[in-house]
Copies of this chain bind each other. A is one copy, B any other.
Amino acid sequence: MYVILVYDMGEARVTKMLKLCRRYLNWIQNSVFEGSISPVKLLELIEEAKQIMDLSNDSLIIFSSREERWLTKQVVGVERNKIGNFL
Contacts and interface: CB of A to CB of B under 8 A. Distances in A.
- The main secondary structure of chain A at its interface with chain B is strand
Nearest to A34: B63
Contact of A55 (B50, B63, B74, B78): B78
26 contacts: A4-B4, A8-B30, A28-B61, A30-B31, A32-B61, A34-B63, A53-B77, A54-B77, A55-B76, A55-B77, A55-B78, A57-B78, A58-B78, A59-B76, A59-B78, A59-B80, A61-B74, A62-B73, A63-B63, A63-B72, A63-B73, A64-B71, A65-B65, A65-B70, A65-B72, A67-B70
Interface of A: 4, 6-8, 28-32, 34, 46, 49-50, 53-67, 70-80
